[in-house]
Amino acid sequence: MPIFMELFLTFAKIGLFTFGGGYAMLSMIENICVEQKKWITHDEMMNITVIAESTPGPIAINCATYVGYKKGKLSGAFFATLGVAIPSFIIIFSISMFLEGFLEIAWIAHAFRGIRIAVGILILDAAIKMMKKMKKKPLQIGTLLASFVGIMLINVLKLHISSIAVMLVAVLVSVVFFLVEKGHGKESKP
């Protein structure tokens, strides 16, 4: 089987069988690409995790592109990325055709009123987990609190400011601090 075909099928399998988003997928990718197929080493997997967390976009896409490129250059990257996305694309596309009609059924609407509450807790949990892993220095804590208050105000006051603007301000502040620290000749590694 040509490598790009194998990449496509392998990542389609990963895309089809991982529930719960990126982090669940990382362990599946580790299992298949490191242990079974030996496409990448364990160290590389660690490396990919760090890169995936530091670059934007779905973590699964970052991983698929990385492994695909390593095994099959550009076409490998393309087919691995396509593979990982195709199962969920087909499933969600099918669901989208009937979801709204589905929600008009009374007991399903009741179920979703309950589910809505659970989703709020899941989002909160994601933030708490990330907070536990974060470096707890004054600049980091200050940025977190300022962003939290900023987004709350934007939501409550219905201001038309995108969260991207808040992120750009945070980056700017951190870079300014970095340049000042560097200028003072203090440790230059943030």
Residues 133-172 that bind another protein (CB under 8 A): 134, 139-141, 143-152, 155-156, 160, 162-164, 166-167, 170-172
Give the footprint of another protein on residues 104-133 (CB under 8 A).
106-107, 110-128, 130-131
Q: Determine if 1 is a binding residue for another protein (CB under 8 A).
A: no
Among residues 65, 4, 11, 2, the alpha carbon closest in space to that of 33 is found at 11
Give the footprint of another protein on residues 39-58 (CB under 8 A).
50-51, 53-58
User: In degrees to the nearest 10, what's the CA dihedral of 116, 117, 118, 121?
Assistant: 120
Among residues 36, 37, 38, 12, the alpha carbon closest in space to that of 25 is found at 12
In terms of CB distance, is 1 or 50 closer to another protein?
50
Give the footprint of another protein on residues 2-41 (CB under 8 A).
15-23, 25
Give the footprint of another protein on residues 53-92 (CB under 8 A).
53-62, 65-66, 69-70, 74, 77, 81, 84-85, 87-89, 91-92
58's CB contacts (< 8 A; 6+ apart) are 22
In terms of CB distance, is 1 or 189 closer to another protein?
189
In terms of CB distance, is 5 or 119 closer to another protein?
119
In terms of CB distance, is 1 or 157 closer to another protein?
157
Task: Give the 3-state secondary structure of 90-158.
Answer: HHHHHHHHHHHHHHCCHHHHHHHHHHHHHHHHHHHHHHHHHHHHCCCCHHHHHHHHHHHHHHHHHHHCC
